[in-house]
Structure 1
Amino acid sequence: MSLMGKASIWLMAAVLLTGCATSPPRNPENICAIFEQHDSWYEAATDTREKWGAPVHVTMAMMYQESSFIHDARPPMRYFLFIPYGRASSAYGYAQAKDETWADYQRESGNGWSSRDDFDDAMDFMGWYMSKTSKINGVSKWDAYRQYLNYHEGWGGYRRGSHQRKGWLLKTSRKVEARAKRYASQYWQCKDSLNSGWFG
């Protein structure tokens, strides 16, 4: 095959892969609008609820905070004298999961082929994490505020109270809590339509 032919194949593959990426919701402030635009996300969110007991409005509020529903989100690059020297962490994807935590999830859940930029996998990861938070630190899966503190600080960090020294994090967690409440109110209004497939 000629170099031109190989280049064409690589270009086509890149276009196809780019086309597979799901765009962020047009109206991320409304959970009904999100699921109307991305009905497969609703299925993933309800599967996570059934598997891990993680409420739809809490997982979605936490994911919004982590990535704004951007599939390949990463922490910003750090610079020294205009020279990039890496990112703050290995967090990546919808759930902003770090390398080591994602590896733990893959091993414990058996979902070895999972990908952090796949919404279904990221949602399942979040349910797994919230379930462990409930078991390890006794935090209700319905408690968006404390669930997010655990998600950000880790189970050990939360037990040590590391969040208490981070005023910005406490404020952010309250934002997650407030968004979860708004999502819950919105979800109550469109739940029947979503379950009947009316939006689809």
Structure 2
Amino acid sequence: MMTARPAKALLMHELFIKLSIVSMLLLFVLITTSCSDTTVNLPDNQQNLCELFREQPHWYDYAKVSEIKWGTPVSSQMAFIQSESSFQSLVRPPRSKLLDLIPWSRTSSAYGYAQAQNQVWQEYLADNASPLARRTHMKYATDFIGWYNQRSQ
């Protein structure tokens, strides 16, 4: 009986280690896959609004609401976003290089679909009082563009 217990404990310990390794691998896979797909797939044809809205129908809804609210046409909003970010939600300006080698600071604080800079984004948030607004969400990017264009007239 004395030898059975250590053998059983050893088997349990080995099983625990194997399960721990498998759990860590699964956690790693889960984290890396969840981080890798944080944006909407880029539209196949950025030059064709009809195709773009077929792929992302809610984008049209967001842009139409912004057009009604601020007066900036849907096509103008989409042209702005295509020009600024190529429909990439997490895009930022490139970093400058220190000694042409080391990535340094960014050339501006622009971020998101509309490439709104921090100061102007804060003004937009103050005027529109939406605590959930994010530059990486098309709903707020289109609203921001409409707000910005209306304010610039």
Q: Give the TM-score taking structure 1 as reference length.
A: 0.60
Q: Does 1:54 align with 2:72?
A: yes
**Is residue 2:63 matched to residue 1:45?**
yes
Structure possessing the higher radius of gyration over alpha carbons: 2
1:83-102 residue pairs with structure 2 within 5 A? 83-102=102-121
Whole-angstrom CA distance in 2 between matches of 1:54 and 1:39: 19
Q: 1:29 to 1:42 in 2, by over 3 A?
A: same
Task: State the superposition RMSD in angstroms.
Answer: 2.1
> Could you tell me how far 1:9 is from its partner in structure 2?
5.0
Q: Tell me the residue number matched to 2:128.
A: 109
User: In structure 1, how many angstroms separate the alpha carbons of the residues matched to 2:31 and 2:129?
Assistant: 29
2:39–2:88 CA contact under 8 A, matched in 1: no
- After superposition, what is the alpha-carbon deviation per residue over 1:107-134, rounded to whole angstroms, capped at 9, x for unaligned? 1101121111111111111111111112
The two structures have a TM-score, normalised by structure 2, of 0.77
Show the counterpart of 1:63: 81
Tell me how many residue pairs correspond in the alignment: 133
Unaligned runs of 5+ in 1: 135-200
Give the 3 Å change call, closer, same or farther, for CA 3–76 of structure 1 in structure 2: same
Offset of residue 37 of structure 1: 1.2
Structure with greater helix percent: 1
Partner of 2:42: 24
Instruction: Give unpaired runs (5+ residues) of structure 2.
Output: 1-19
The answer to whether structure 1 residue 133 and structure 2 residue 152 are counterparts is: yes
Point out 4+ residue stretches in structure 1 off by more than 6 angstroms. Answer: none
> What secondary structure does 1:120 align onto?
helix
